[in-house]
Amino acid sequence: MNSFYPSRKLGQNFTVDQSVIAKTCRLIKSLNPTALIEVGPGKGALTKALLKLQLPYHGIELDKRLAEYLLVNEILTEEQLTIGDALKQNLDQYFPDTIPLLCGNIPYSISSPLIANFLASKLQQFVLVCQWEFGQRLVAPVNSPNYSAFGVFCQYHLQIKSVFKIDKVAFKPKPQVDSVLMLLKKKPQVAYEAHFGRFLKQCFHQRRKLLVNNLKQLLPPTLLTNVLQQQDLAATVRAQELTPTQLFRLYLSLKPHLSDGKD
């Protein structure tokens, strides 16, 4: 494994700063998890620290080279490791009798779909390292440049905290941008609505357009105008001017009129 070259295609940047690993583990420990699922254990830097918490553990690694490294060096056992794509895994299968915490240093290319997979599962907490810009989009306020469809989707379902910024020198190979440790917790009493996400994509399709114009391919403009009026919203409103709660209420009002009750 001395000749191992990280895959740019897979977005591999391994955490080498022990202080970042230690702070990540302290945060995870403070959340009192009953079990852990790590996405992308890589060469095991964070994994070794997680195992010291003495909790049931399972890792999901896409790169067969790294999976072999973890097994050959006895960092993980075969029972503790799935070789495959985390985006295609049922996250609920690994610990059916408890609700584990999800964690990992996540490549930018899979950050959004992995969060979507987390939302669709029974898991409640997700500690992830992601690109700084992506983290900023998750917490962007209303009417800001980074306020987006996916950010609204996450803010409606999740309590989101940006824990600490991580300098790019904490990784090897060094990425071009800084990262951030994020904590995502599902909001109690908020049911997962997958179709809300697709509705939001249409709402934010062209940011400069009025909401009515973005949605007119789905619904008659007169209906949209009437529903907006019922919710005390101007016909000239744009998606980025509405809070996640306002957008969800609008979605619920329009849902019966969408095809098959969906967007």
Show me where the domains of the chain are located. Answer: 14-186, 194-261
Topology match between the domains 14-186 and 194-261: no
- pLDDT tens string, the chain, 263 residues long: the values are 555 665 666 556 889 999 999 999 999 999 999 999 999 999 999 999 999 999 999 999 999 999 999 999 999 999 999 999 999 999 999 999 999 999 999 888 899 999 999 999 999 999 999 999 999 999 999 999 999 999 999 999 999 999 999 999 999 989 999 999 999 999 999 999 999 999 999 999 999 899 999 999 899 989 999 999 999 999 999 999 999 999 999 999 999 988 754 44
Q: DSSP string spanning 7-24?
A: -TTTT--EE--HHHHHHH
Closest alpha carbon to 12 in 103, 124, 117, 129: 129
**72: how many CB neighbours lie within 10 A of its CB?**
9
Please say whether the beta carbons of 127 and 178 come within 8 A.
no
C-alpha distances (whole Å) from 175 to each of 6, 111, 196 are: 12, 16, 33
Please say whether the beta carbons of 209 and 238 come within 8 A.
yes
CATH superfamily assigned to domain 194-261: rRNA adenine dimethylase, C-terminal domain (1.10.8.100)
CATH superfamily assigned to domain 14-186: Vaccinia Virus protein VP39 (3.40.50.150)
Query: Is pTM beyond 0.85 here?
Result: yes
Q: Which residues are annotated as a binding site?
A: 13, 15, 40, 61, 85, 105
Q: Which residues are annotated as a binding site for S-adenosyl-L-methionine?
A: 13, 15, 40, 61, 85, 105
d(CA 84, CA 67): 10
The CA-based angle 143-246-126, given to 5 degrees, is 80
Strands 101-105 and 125-131, bridge-based pairing = parallel
**236: how many CB neighbours lie within 10 A of its CB?**
10
